[in-house]
Structure 1
Amino acid sequence: MTAMSTGDTGPTLADRILGGWLGRIAGNMLGKPVEQGEVWTRERIDGYLRGADALPLTDYLPAPPTGRDGRDLRPEWRDCVRGRVHGSCRDDDVDYAILGLDLLETHGFAFTTEQVGDLWLLRLPYLQTFTAERAAYRNLANGLRPPLTATYDNPYQEWIGALIRADVHGWTSPGAPHRAASLARRDAVLSHTGNGVYGAMWAAALISAAFTAPTVRQAVDEALTVIPAGCRLARTVRRVASLHEAGLPWEDTLGTLARETAGLGWIHTVPNAAVLTAGLLYGDGDFTTTIALTVRGGLDTDSNGATAGSVAGVHCGAPAIPGQWKDPLQDTVRSAVFGFDGARIGDLAKRTLRLARTGT
């Protein structure tokens, strides 16, 4: 099924899939304490890090150096800062990867959008859903069916929720970005429209391409082929790539994109895709630099850190992820998905590998 080269001398398929899982969880944990874009701006995040003598950022966030910072961090920060990570925190960015794995194991790659909704109702607590997912969940419970679940009384249709659900479709379609995007679209339309759906397709394709692309830039370019060239998401990603190619510093690129996407809000897909793309391109394949820059970029920090970590982890493979990121996770994931709390990360990766190898 896959387009992986049999002559690849880099990380094995198993290493890359485990790298994706570890990278997603580590990146999510890194960004979680400062996940509130209107409070934790890019400037404030860097100010926090300077105050803790933690620049350059090469590990989980330090504990807050002042009482005020501690009050403004997400309440989960105590389990997410360096020296206090013992397994992963529960978070929707990881729950949806687990739920996607369960979807493919239960229904196979021919799953329907209706089956995605049925699984949400069965496995996912309502109060652990947010924005577009909560609106879609409510609509499902009230008897609506897709695509009405995405469009009825849902002002969040282009927010980032569908993008964070896309990883498993990339992990199980290594080197086949169009296939990954097709699977992600079928999932995304339960709750999203427009750029919200394109974000999921792009992220799935990006992760899929990272298995085989020689560079992260090539993976970014390949992922753009699965969404309409004229959509705002594609134009924004290309804009970041052009500024990076022109040699603009990372800070200036993000400043430019912040001005050009002003007004969309900190959870909208488009400005977050800009932060994510900048982290990937300026990180240039280095795992630590990639997730550090992405989280320092602000906005939806835990979601962007998670996706950046997934891409970088797939690209470099689990053995190349530095120990300070993966060792504190203790091969354990917390999850609100019924039946999966306390699951082993390695086991989730093995189950994902089986799906990637069968492709059916």
Structure 2
Amino acid sequence: MADYRRKVYGCWLGKSIGGTLGGPHEGKMQLLELDFYDPVPTGAIPNDDLDLQLVWLAALRAHGPAVDERVLGDWWLRSLQYPFDEYGIAMWNLARGVEPPISGQFANHFSHCMGAPIRSEIWACVAPACPGLAALYAYCDGCVDHGGEGIYGEMFFAALESAAFVIDDREQLLDLGLEMIPADCRTAGAVRLTRELHAAGADWLTARERILERYGDINFTDAPQNIAFTVLGWLWGENAADGMCKAVNCGYDTDCTGATLGSILGLLHGPEVFEPKWVDPVGDEVVVGWGVHHCEVPRTLQELSDWTLELAHTILEANDAPVRIGEATDLTGLQVDASQPVELQRRLERHDWTLRQEVQATAGATTVWIGLNGPPALAPGEERVIDIRLEGPRQTVELQAGGAFAITPRGGEDGIHRCVVQAGEDIGAAPRHALSVEVGGCSCPFS
């Protein structure tokens, strides 16, 4: 348990150090020349990279292992007020009843950005040595305000960070992280390119140029380029400080690249990997940004580590994980399962414009998936094919909507119930119309 806590503390300390190093230079897209903090701080600076994870920590303490995308969406509206980019769009969607994962996709031009990959550590730390479980929680988190690359980046980092509690081989960790995300996504491609350049003996400046040539984006927060810069710092860094500086010196979303690499190195090697000259300026205080409200947060990184440890006990036990944390815990020889959990596979397969809900119907517990096959918006006279899939006992199914919609059953196949929904010409400008699925006599509402 002492070694686990040491790694957790190293993770949070590295997050603070790297974020404080990169924070003042966020958005600078040119090559930088940092070798230390500039300016030298008199304490850690607030960073949304940590802020959102503090809210998720509170959600976990309130709900335990049952936390999923709906719970996190509720906590977002309750405790977060950051209006920037994907955060603001997700808040707008959630506030008008658009639920995750669609809240992260609909009208969101920032769905592939760094707001999700920066908050992977909490899931790794509460699911140590369980990369699939960490990636599942990361998906539930990321889909609240992201789609595609934003989600994949968080899953990638959460998986490798979880495995880093028991594996210290860098290449093996990168392989494992890639196993959790689609091989053809841009994030996976950017990571592979970075590794290929390192293996070929390229210098880090050349690697940066090649990454930008193939994966560069005009938006400095686009995820693949920044994830590649984080990996670049890890591969080319001569030590923790040099690695963080190289990642940040690539420019772009510098607080994110520095903070994420700092957390990985602190988790792998413990807090002692950071020299005192890097630790002393930031201290142990948890500094919270202005956008966090109505949420109890730890006051120090030590307290944050203690709260994390308490949650890990509960989450590992509830998920029947192959590892437990205790005084006699021995992780020697533990085999890390690098496969995707079935629940994660289902979510990824049905991610686009699909909602999921559990219902206790008359014939037994049932999972209802409703596929909208497009954005959750219809113009007057427009129609859309809706797919309903049940997992559980065979039951009657009926789609219901308000009087402004006409619903025509279309049969189905392979366990899918299909119908066509058409918006009336007089649908009006009402901002929200609810759909409901009647399953075995039990109503299952979808906003």
TM-score, normalised by the number of residues in structure 2: 0.67
The answer (yes or no) to whether the contact 2:90–2:104 under 8 Å persists in 1 is: yes
Q: Which has the larger strand fraction? A: 2
The answer (yes or no) to whether the contact 1:100–1:165 under 8 Å persists in 2 is: no
| Residue 110 of structure 1: how far off its partner (Å) | 2.3
| Structure 1: runs of 5+ lacking an equivalent | 1-5, 50-56, 62-80
Distance 1:148 1:247 in 2: 43
Partner of 2:37: 60
The answer (yes or no) to whether the contact 2:54–2:297 under 8 Å persists in 1 is: no
For 1:92, give the aligned amino acid: D
Partner of 2:185: 231
Distance 2:83 2:312 in 1: 27
The answer (yes or no) to whether the contact 2:186–2:215 under 8 Å persists in 1 is: no
Of residues 219, 225, 228 in structure 2, which corresponds to 1:274? 228
Partner of 1:290: 243
For 2:62, give the aligned amino acid: T
The answer (yes or no) to whether the contact 1:334–1:342 under 8 Å persists in 2 is: no
Partner of 1:12: 3
Of residues 112, 137, 150 in structure 1, which corresponds to 2:104? 150
| Residue 262 of structure 1: how far off its partner (Å) | 3.1
The answer (yes or no) to whether the contact 2:120–2:155 under 8 Å persists in 1 is: yes
Residues 1:100 and 2:56 are matched in the alignment: yes
For 1:333, give the aligned amino acid: V
| Residue 240 of structure 1: how far off its partner (Å) | 0.5
- When Rg is computed on C-alpha atoms for both structures, the one with the higher figure is 2
Evaluate the alpha carbon distance shift between residue 228 and residue 342 of structure 1 in structure 2; reply closer, same or farther with a 3 A threshold: closer
The answer (yes or no) to whether the contact 2:87–2:145 under 8 Å persists in 1 is: yes
Partner of 2:124: 170
The answer (yes or no) to whether the contact 1:334–1:341 under 8 Å persists in 2 is: no
Q: Secondary structure at the match of 2:66?
A: coil
Residues 1:259 and 2:219 are matched in the alignment: no
| Residue 150 of structure 1: how far off its partner (Å) | 1.4
Distance 2:92 2:241 in 1: 39
Distance 1:102 1:290 in 2: 32
Distance 1:106 1:316 in 2: 31
Residues 1:324 and 2:277 are matched in the alignment: yes
Distance 2:298 2:27 in 1: 27
Residues 1:190 and 2:144 are matched in the alignment: yes
How many residues of Structure 1 are paired with residues of Structure 2 in the alignment?
313
| Residue 342 of structure 1: how far off its partner (Å) | 7.3
Of residues 301, 310, 318 in structure 1, which corresponds to 2:263? 310
Evaluate the alpha carbon distance shift between residue 307 and residue 129 of structure 1 in structure 2; reply closer, same or farther with a 3 A threshold: farther
The answer (yes or no) to whether the contact 1:91–1:335 under 8 Å persists in 2 is: yes
1:252-287 CA-partner distances (Å, limit 9, x unpaired): 111111111133521111111111110111126x32
The answer (yes or no) to whether the contact 1:15–1:319 under 8 Å persists in 2 is: no
Partner of 2:328: none
Partner of 2:24: 33
TM-score, normalised by the number of residues in structure 1: 0.82
The equivalences for 1:83-122 within 5 A come to 84-86=41-43, 88-122=44-78
The answer (yes or no) to whether the contact 1:132–1:157 under 8 Å persists in 2 is: yes
| Structure 2: runs of 5+ lacking an equivalent | 319-447
CA RMSD after TM alignment: 1.8
Partner of 1:353: 309
| Residue 340 of structure 1: how far off its partner (Å) | 4.7
Higher RCO (CA-CA < 8 Å; seq separation 6+): 1
